Amino acid sequence: MAERPYVIDQMISAKAIAARIEALCRDIKAEFPKDERLVVVGLLRGSFVFIADLVRELGDRDVEVDFLEASSYGNATESSREVRILKDLRGEIEGRNVLVVEDIVDTGYTLSHVIHLLSARRPKKLKTIALLDKPSRREVDFRADWIGFEIPDEFVVGYGIDYAQCNRNLPYIGKVRFT
């Protein structure tokens, strides 16, 4: 698929993202016991910037980081609704506290599929957090436990989120306008 020309308009600033992560981590710290290790599972690739900032903000916690790669988009701007696991966890989660970190919940297919998969591995507690949520696009009855920002049905990039593998490096969330 050839990329179409586009421009990016800032939607959510880096400063607003940092402030929201600080608030979210207060809630996460209250949910999970301080004396128990927390396994933070990042859904690749879009969550890698978000997960890095989250684990730094968790600070004094014993945090283990693992990654799972699931895909329903490829290089497209619309979900295929077929979720494929491209990379599974390296560690075990049975009997452990797990926080799954997603960049954006759109149709809900990916996160719903991943939670079903991980629940079968019998974690002690399994919670989800998403930086962005597009509830108007939901096709599966699923809502993350914590949401950074609810956004309208716009195609966005930045802060780890890409368009055809570009723009992940932007420090803010931007709306893509095709020209």
Q: Which residues are catalytic?
A: 106
Nearest CA-CA partner of 149 in 139, 140, 141, 161: 161
The per-residue DSSP string of 51-115 comes to: HHHHHHHHTTS-EEEEEEEEES-TTSSS--S--EEEE--SS--TTSEEEEEEEEESSSHHHHHHH
Residue 123: strand pairing partners: none
CB count within 10 Å of CB 27 equals 13
